[in-house]
Amino acid sequence: MLLLGDENFPKRIVDILRSCGNDVVWALTDCRGWKDAALLDFAESEARIILTLDKDFWHIAVQRCIVSSDGIQMLAAPGS
């Protein structure tokens, strides 16, 4: 599974997910300091699921959500 752990996501869980064979990019070490919008762009470009404990992260994601005709939810840039 392709995952992206936000900077606030616990290292212990990132390590466990990796040890189970998941491909986990961890923002704290792999994309330190990136803004939430940039993380969303990256996750979308690589079809990664974002793991975060950030309570307001969903505000950005909701503004970018599009539901396709087949019911699959996809992210899109604001105004798309």
Kindly report the pTM of this predicted structure. Answer: 0.74
> What pLDDT is recorded for position 56?
75
Q: Which domain holds residue 12?
A: 2-75
The answer to whether residue 80 is domain-embedded is: no
Let me know if residue 11 belongs to a domain.
yes
Q: How many domains does the chain have?
A: 1
Distance CA 7, CA 29 (A): 8
Comparing C-alpha atoms, which of 4, 2, 15 is closest to residue 61?
4
Cα end-to-end distance, the chain, whole Å: 27
Question: pLDDT confidence of 64, banded at 50, 70, 90?
Answer: low
CA 73, CA 79: separation in Å to the nearest integer?
16
- Identify which has the larger pLDDT, 76 or 50: 50
Neighbours of 70 (CB within 10 A): 5
Position 12 in a domain: yes
pLDDT at 78 over 80: no
pLDDT at position 39 over 60: yes
